[in-house]
Homo-oligomer: A and B are copies of this chain.
Amino acid sequence: MKEISKLLEYRPSVKVLDATLRDGGLVNDFFFTDEFVKALYETNIKAGVDYMEFGYRADKELFNESEFGKWKFSSDEHIREIVGDNNTDLKLAIMADVGRCNYKEDIRPKSESPVDCIRVACYIHQIPAAIAMIEDAVNKGYEATCNIMAISTNQQGDLAAALDAVCKSPVSCIYIVDSYGSIYPESMARIADLYVSKAQEAGKQIGIHAHNNQQLAFANTIECVGDGVDWLDATYNSMGRGAGNCAMELLLGFLKNPKYQERYALEFVEKYMNPLKESGAVWGYDLQYLATGLLNQHPRTAIAFTKDGRKDYFEFYKELLATD
């Protein structure tokens, strides 16, 4: 049982990262208006958020620029159009996927970029490639994180070996990523224990990126806070792939550091996220995502179900069971 004092005090090392543009961009192919992005940036500053993730820096040889909004590629120039020189306490991040980012050319030295942090996303078999990207980013002057995805399908021994390898790199933070939204808080406590113990030995920090397939994204995030996890991902109104993420407005209400101001999160949801949803962008908890989360599967079948406008949830669940 966690100590009572921890419920009323706060740990200054806790950081909140807004992933709305990046994970939310997977919902609308990154077509956010500049007005939206500027308001999001201003909200993050007022609400005391620590990091704002601007999207992917995807390889333009792999992805067609005409098919996506600019935050699929998040060039330094486009970010500067929003933030200028970003003379604020808000740090800026982008995500770089192993195998989908031409990082040697597209990530320029930090001295030429408004970005502070490169988040390197990978699957467990891509750890060596991720470490090469982390080293490249740190050598160029950035802070780097390693976001190992889909760990609910990995063996604990493999995960421990991966953490040992990443801990030897110049990474700042390693993320627990519950890509399938299948992890319960009881298991999350055990996973956090593994990550935090490895990180403490190596002087690294741990983060949590949760998905809401079983309405547990917020619960898993605050479970992790109590377990010593410091970097917390959230998105406004939970906007993110499939069932979405931990809601920023819930997380800021929970955290006790007085710099966090949940009222601005509520204001942003009312003025920008609800209209976005009303305009047709579809994300959030629903039975098809519960189904893939429960079965520890990638959400791609559930996303297809959603895109096809299907409402036959029971039939979908039977399809999953039949092919499980």
Contacts and interface: CB of A to CB of B under 8 A. Distances in A.
Contact of A250 (B214, B218, B266): B214
Interface string A296-324: 00000000000000011110011001000
B214 A216 contact: no
A197 to B, nearest CB: 12
Q: How large is the interface on A (under 10, 10 to 19, 20 to 34, 35 or more residues)?
A: 35 or more
A124 to B, nearest CB: 21
A189 interface: yes
Interface stretch (A52-60, A135-143, A219-227): A219-227
Nearest to A315: B270
Nearest to A246: B215
A270 B218 contact: no
Contacts of A314: 263, 266-267, 270-271
Interface in A157-213: 184-187, 189-190, 193, 212
A216 B215 CA distance: 8
A214 B223 contact: no
Interface centre among A266, A269, A290, A317 (most CB of B within 10 A): A266
A262 B215 contact: no
Interface stretch (A1-9, A34-42, A62-70, A89-97): A1-9
Contacts of A215: 212, 215, 217-219, 247, 250
Contacts of A254: 184, 214
A219 to B, nearest CB: 3
A7 B186 CA distance: 8
B189 A2 contact: yes
A7 B184 contact: yes
Given A184-B254, A266-B287, A270-B313, 9 more contacts: A7-B187, A184-B222, A186-B226, A214-B250, A215-B217, A215-B250, A266-B290, A267-B314, A269-B287
Interface of A: 1-2, 4, 6-7, 184-187, 189-190, 193, 212, 214-219, 222-223, 226, 247, 249-250, 253-254, 262-263, 266-267, 269-271, 274, 287, 290-291, 294, 311-314, 317-318, 321
